[in-house]
Homo-oligomer: A and B are copies of this chain.
């Protein structure tokens, strides 16, 4: 099916078509498409744009990454399919940031596909292709990490994460920055710095902020962040949008014939 750029939902239809291709290639798994749908629903409820509160979280995230000793971004299939270019821009702005493949549904082939899409976007060094360590207490393949990557990261950016790993990282004293459109998810509630925004918008903003920090050689000092307030803000945004929508539809009576 050809997509018309004039379709009201052109942008999201294009993303969906891209994920369908990534699925056929094996980069994305079926569960990843379902997760994308869950995100779409929350994005819709958030008004499909970055809230002021999410933008503040993104700025704080850039500061945390900038001031960390060993910052690492964890990349799964959906992130690679959706935002490899944004990740490459982040690394260009701050080459100290490591990029590591980390998959829940891990196969050697998928690892290669994720690494390849990152390299094609311009990320030169991809960690996690041959894991050299394990995060204790995590039963899934998400535990398999790089000793020089996620394993020793002090700040870990985990876009589209599952709650289990966010907890496991925190339990090790690592700072977790999440990107997740669901403000109620275990990931969002577990993260030290939850960003409630669409992954490409969020990573694009972080890349821009890091470029700014790099240009003005900003001091490497992270700012505190109020995670609870950020989640409450997101829930309020959803609530406001729902109220607005509830007022919109006209009450209509219908009978069966």
Chain A interface (Cβ < 8 Å from any Cβ of B): 1, 16, 19-20, 23, 29-31, 33-42, 44, 63-64, 67-68, 105, 154-155, 175, 182, 184, 189, 192-193, 222-229, 231-232, 235-236, 238-239, 242-243, 245-246, 249-257
Residues B19 and A30 in contact, CB atoms below 8 Å apart? yes
Q: Tell me the minimal C-beta distance from A82 to chain B in angstroms.
A: 13
Q: Which residues of B contact A253 (CB under 8 A)?
A: 224-228
**A226 nearest CB neighbor, chain B only:** B253
Collect the chain B residues with CB atoms within 8 Å of residue A31's CB: 16, 20
Task: Point out the residues of chain B lying under 8 angstroms from A231, CB to CB.
Answer: 246, 249
- A224 and B255 contact, CB distance less than 8 A: yes
16 contacts between A and B (CB under 8 A): A20-B29, A30-B33, A36-B37, A184-B245, A222-B256, A223-B256, A224-B254, A224-B256, A225-B255, A228-B249, A228-B250, A228-B251, A232-B249, A235-B245, A235-B246, A239-B246
- Report the separation of the CA atoms of residues A193 and B63 in the bound assembly, to the nearest whole angstrom: 51
Query: Max chain B CB contacts within 10 Å: which of A20, A44, A67, A249?
Result: A249
B251 touches A242 (CB 8 A): no
Closest to A1 in B: B105
Question: Which residues on the B side are within 8 Å of A249 (C-beta)?
Answer: 189, 228, 231-232
Pair B30/A41 contact, Cβ less than 8 Å: no
With both chains docked as a complex, state the minimum distance between the C-beta of A222 and any C-beta of chain B, in angstroms: 3
Cα–Cα distance between A38 and B42 once the two chains are bound (Å): 8
What CA separation (Å) do A40 and B42 show in the bound complex? Answer: 11
Which residue of B is nearest A188, CB measured? B249
Candidate in A19, A38, A231, A253 with the most chain B CB atoms within 10 angstroms: A38
Which residue on chain B has the smallest CB distance to residue A36? B34
A24's closest neighbor in chain B, by CB? Answer: B30
CB distance from A55 to the nearest CB of B (A): 18
- CB proximity of A153 to chain B, nearest CB, Å: 12
* A17 CA to B99 CA, complexed, in Å: 30
Distance of A59 from chain B, by nearest CB (Å): 13
Give the distance in Å from the alpha carbon of A17 to the alpha carbon of B161 in the complex.
Answer: 19
Option from B33, B38, B68, B235 in Cβ contact (under 8 Å) with A242 = B235
Residues of chain B within 8 A of A254, CB atoms compared: 175, 192-193, 224-225, 227
